[in-house]
Amino acid sequence: MIKCLECSKEVNRIQWTHLRYKCSGKIKTCDEYLKKYPNAMLVDPSLAKKTTLTYENMVKKYGQIEGEARWKSYCEKQAYSNTYEYKKEKYGWSEKQFLEYNASRSITLKKCIERYGEKEGLRKWHEYCDKQAYSNTKEYFIEKYGQDLGSIKYLEYNKQKGTSNSAIAIANKLQITLDEAVEVILSRKESKENLGSNLEKEFTTMLEEKVGRLEHTTFNKPYGKWCHELNSYVIFDIKHKNCIIEFNGDYWHCNPTIYKEDRKIIGNMLAKEVWEKDKKKIQTAINHGFRVMVIWENEFRKNKIETIERVVQWMQNGQK
């Protein structure tokens, strides 16, 4: 049971029916309730866990065979409901409307701030990023599929990821260098695997308008090298001639003007650990003879034109 913060009654879940007919009468909808009481719970956690549509709950309710069949059917319906064909058939949407709809649903820092204000927007953005990081953990797989199946799926997921991205295995198999193996891996990646943020895309587009087509970007022919200190390969955001440009997101790279070194982020990694990892990545580029420039998300957001002009000048002053 959870307590309604408006009337203090204990209920399993807070719905508009409770707010309108059994509460104080001052709040009519859940949106109004959350606006007045930010971060308030709407559903008792134990009830939410029991009623959430998961593979584990389906099997518990209907048995192994029927539960698996129902779960598969549910996943297929969910997937189809997000397709252009479904939206066109049900709502008569054009392809342009479908693309605009998907763009409006995307979660970015800018959209969070626009919707909720700077303070709440930042909180929601960090919460979203933490959830994305959590979705790669073993705990997430167990929570989603149950103890046994979740453990198996987690191992399969990491085995597949490790096999496909193992530069060492490819280098040994093909008898090539680790840097050459990295090139093989990156050549196999589809473009959708390398999509950066909308802000990074805007930065890249504006830069190309000034200097012409860039050799390698996050969105076109990603470029990477083997980093011996990290024992893995690293991918650089932009590589052009002898220049490497890293476009660092404030959250993912823990902008030191925003985060303290002991701030936990991305799978409980500390900010200072993120900085150390980025330092080794940059040193890898320097060791290969590149000049490196780091642009932070917030500095570009504050003054886009001035930032681009500064980058262009830096590139022109040192290019071979």
pLDDT grade for 319, boundaries at 50, 70 and 90: low
pLDDT grade for 48, boundaries at 50, 70 and 90: low
**Residue that wins the pLDDT comparison between 195 and 190:** 195
pLDDT the model gives residue 49: 62
Give the chain's count of helices (H) and strands (E). 17, 10
C-alpha–C-alpha distance, residues 143 and 56, integer Å: 8
Rg (Cα) of the chain, in Å, rounded? 24
Residue 150 has pLDDT above 60, yes or no: yes
**Poorest-pLDDT segment among 31-45, 79-93, 96-110, 215-229:** 96-110
**Residue that wins the pLDDT comparison between 144 and 305:** 305
Q: Which secondary structure element, helix H or strand E, spans residue 10, and what is its range?
A: strand 10-11
In sequence order, the 6+-apart residues with CB closer than 8 A to the CB of 110 are 198, 199, 301
Residue type present at position 155: L
Question: Could you tell me the two tokens for 300?
Answer: 């570009």
Question: Could you tell me the two tokens for 293?
Answer: 């420039």
Instruction: Compute the CA torsion angle 48, 49, 55, 59 (nearest 10 deg).
Output: -100
C-alpha–C-alpha distance, residues 311 and 134, integer Å: 35
Average pLDDT over residues 60-79: 82
267-294 residues labelled b (16+ CB within 10 A) or e (exposed): eeebbeebbebbeebbebbeeeebbebe
* Distance between start and end Cα atoms, the chain: 68
Question: Could you tell me the two tokens for 125?
Answer: 């953005």
Report whether 54 contacts 144 (CB < 8 A): yes
Sign of the CA dihedral 274, 278, 281, 283? negative
Angle at 10 between CA 5 and CA 12, to 5 degrees: 105
| Length of the chain counted residue by residue | 320
C-alpha–C-alpha distance, residues 101 and 29, integer Å: 25
- CB neighbour class for 260 (10 Å; exposed up to 12, middle 13-18, buried from 19): exposed
Residue 52 has pLDDT above 90, yes or no: no
Average pLDDT over residues 53-76: 81
pLDDT the model gives residue 151: 80
pLDDT the model gives residue 97: 77
Strands (DSSP E) along 241-279, which ranges?
Answer: 243-248, 264-265, 269-270
pLDDT tens digits for 262-309?
887 766 788 999 999 999 999 999 999 999 999 999 999 999 999 999
pLDDT the model gives residue 103: 62
- What's the number of CA atoms in the CB half-sphere (13 Å) around residue 31? 1
pLDDT grade for 11, boundaries at 50, 70 and 90: confident
* 113-127, 194-208, 270-284: which is most confident: 270-284
Percent of the chain past pLDDT 90, that is, above it, reads 31
Residue 165 has pLDDT above 60, yes or no: no
Question: Could you tell me the two tokens for 226?
Answer: 């083997």
C-alpha–C-alpha distance, residues 235 and 203, integer Å: 17
pLDDT grade for 29, boundaries at 50, 70 and 90: confident
**Poorest-pLDDT segment among 25-39, 79-93, 151-165:** 151-165
**pTM for the full model?**
0.52
- The per-residue DSSP string of 207-218 comes to HHHHH-S-SEET
